[in-house]
Structure 1
């Protein structure tokens, strides 16, 4: 969509002030722990772009709260599994040997959006060490949330998602829906005998770049949209238009508990 068409979605431009007011009306509060999933383009034209969006959220939450965003690097993975796009099999060994090691301060996220990339590089933001499923955090509990993330359970127990659950945090879907709701992957770990798959990533080990192979449960976000619709049919959530986008604020613990039972019953994906 052209910039002029994006402007035409709104009577007035989005600004830090207008976004702050609308996010407060949605239910965002000072001191919250909140994981944010976002789409800048869905908001319409924003004066200051992604910096304004991040600043508006920071202004509300404050340093006594905590903001978390997923900063995943799906390209640091085994090329044999790549589908969007796939690469020739003759390339696989080259990629495994040459992929740069994940570095939390350097490696850009992939497919997470410009709001995430802007947040990732802002002063005071910390990032976890998982080579594929990292998270960035800012505020009171940032160090705790990114302090550990097991390689074999990137979205599981001891992950940033588990810590948000422990802290009774919230999920902000800013112009996106449940297919972007990473917390639902945490719920997949509650399913018994979940099928596992082999994975690989380039990381630093004892200061040296290595290609590390590991096994992890099979994550399946294809069902998240149906799961989210079912959840919203049973639970009242806070939703409101922010800019041009319909946005949602959800207590993470409530939807994760619901999703754990829903996935086990509907899409167990067991071994």
Structure 2
């Protein structure tokens, strides 16, 4: 049924070649560093699905550049805090005792979409070590971007987001809105406006599975759409279509700096 709806909404099928054309028209080119957030269904019907999208991105960027995607696994977290769905309290201890440790090679993503889940399995894609907030990267700077991903303060200065910032990379929102723009979390750290809490995940430490506690901020993506709209009023961004998907393409550094300033100003006024 979902497939039929996609077909009905699609004037002509998307292909690897048509996606390459759309990406280039949007401004993507060989050798850039780009963090991609995506929704496959937003494109309409695509021949080859997520594989064609990933291959098209690689065709355009090439190994001279770098493609990064968030490969998050939010379920590798404290089950006491789960709410979508919650589990019975009587299950908590069993989950903590038996849940497999995060493994970048095999741990699936959660709620990230088909493009991301396929990307993490592609040859030469490296994945960072954070149990809930990992990133996958392919290309020239993949190792530099994903290595040394800090367990604490997972999207801060010792994260792939900060390395993309240092390398003056881009963000591509492919059929998704600013609420998916993970880079704004880096702004949250830099604005020092968010509260800190203790989190827990199963990881491998010194060759053994441990249930590890660590510090991080309490993220708040509810503000991101508003920040994004204000960002567009003050900065030029490239917009266009990939198939049916509305896309936005912009410099990550400009977005992070703007959001940091916005959060600082609005935290003072709140």
Tell me the CA shift for residue 267 of structure 1. 4.5
Q: Return the offset for 1:193.
A: 5.9
Structure 1 pair 56/193, CA: closer, same or farther in 2 (3 Å)? closer
Please report how far the alpha carbon of residue 170 of structure 1 lies from its aligned counterpart in structure 2 after TM superposition.
Answer: 0.3
Alignment of 1:191-230 (within 5 A): 191-192=191-192, 194-230=194-230
- Kept in 1, the 8 Å contact 2:68–2:137? The answer is yes
TM superposition score normalised by structure 2: 0.97
Q: How many residues align?
A: 270
Partner of 1:56: 56
1:130 has 2:126 as partner: no
Q: Which residue of 2 aligns with 1:262?
A: 262
SS at the partner of 1:172?
Answer: strand
**Equivalent residue for 2:234?**
234
Question: 1 CA distance for matches of 2:121 and 2:100?
Answer: 19
- What is the distance in 2 between the residues matched to 1:190 and 1:229? 20
In 1: Cα distance, 2:187 partner to 2:169 partner? 15
Q: Give the match's secondary structure for 1:261.
A: helix
* Deviation at residue 82 of structure 1 after TM alignment: 1.2
Q: CA deviation at 1:15?
A: 0.2
Preserved CA contact (<8 Å) 2:31 2:64: yes
For 1:73 and 1:208, locate their aligned partners in 2 and report how far apart those are by CA, in whole Å. 20
Query: How much does 1:2 deviate?
Result: 2.5
5+ long unaligned stretches in structure 2: none
Structure 1 segments, 4+ long, off by >6 Å, are none
Q: What TM-score, normalized by structure 1, do the two folds share?
A: 0.96
Task: Summarize the alignment of residues 35-184 of structure 1 with structure 2, pairs less than 5 Å apart.
Answer: 35-184=35-184
Q: Tell whether the 8 Å contact from 2:185 to 2:219 is kept in structure 1 after alignment.
A: yes
CA contact (8 A) 2:193 2:264 kept: no
C-alpha distance in structure 2 between counterparts of 1:30 and 1:217, whole Å = 36
Unaligned runs of 5+ in 1: none
| 2:201 match: secondary structure | strand
Structure 1: how far apart are the matches of 2:240 and 2:194?
A: 36
SS at match of 1:152: coil
Deviation at 1:10, TM superposition (A): 2.1
Q: 1:218 to 1:233 in 2, by over 3 A?
A: same
What is aligned with 2:246? Answer: 246
Q: What is the root-mean-square deviation in Å for CA atoms of aligned residues?
A: 1.5
Residues 86, 25 of structure 1: CA spacing in aligned structure 2 closer, same or farther, 3 A cutoff?
same
Q: Which residue of 2 aligns with 1:186?
A: 186
Q: Distance in 2 between matches of 1:192 and 1:38?
A: 28
Cα deviation per residue 1:116-152 (whole Å; 9 max; x = unaligned)? Answer: 0111001010000011100000000001111111111
Answer yes or no: is 1:9 the counterpart of 2:12: no
Structure-1 residue corresponding to 2:22: 22
- How far 1:40 sits from its partner (Å)? 0.3
